[in-house]
Structure 1
């Protein structure tokens, strides 16, 4: 019972496909054009079409055949971003993994370093956001966008204070 929907879809697809196949074969046998091509078309049992038969039909493709290789030009890209190698190598834990207290001190020092880096980075980010906010005010952006920038600045300052309080209380 779990797969009844999939089975139903497969059966319906098969029924539709067989109907289309039968309909198409009837249409193909009757012919779809008003021109009688029975003398120039190959018989049902003949699976090959000779080049002379196509030439007699004046067969020409409706669009010119374009070689896709000719249309692709390999050129240098307009801009290549610089590949910046990470020069900061973070030192992994060098102690004994069985010494849980030492590892916890290592993790605590990494957490303190992360919080200090965030606190230091907030000032530069806030300066950039305030400069963008001034430009937005001069450009008369909608108040919702300006308020969003003010909220981001306030959120960064609040997180900076919270992290500073956490570091001071330890």
Structure 2
């Protein structure tokens, strides 16, 4: 009878130990799931940020192209205007043609300088957007590696 009681006590303790282990395992799994969910949310947010950066970069490139096209068209119009002036003044006075040529060159130089300044500003903006995109892509890669590592560790722990 005494042995039976001791055996019953041991069986009850074993059951309690097994139940505690199960509860601990469930709590650990819930914690892991919460971490994985948080990482997924962070990955989703990073992807959204990357998409936004990509859209901003595309917008900046379109703006750059539009500004560049506008500057080229403006430069062509300036060249046509200056050439027209040069022809008219050349007919009137051969000496003033030299002056018109100098004015033409000055206007061309001014136009080219304006275009180069605009291009520098836009190129700097495109480079900045590219750096943001690369950084966001690196963050996404790191999050993927972290998530994969945590899944691997979780799988390894579940086998233990």
Q: Is TM more than 0.5 here?
A: no
Q: Which has the higher helix share?
A: 2
TM-score (norm 2): 0.32
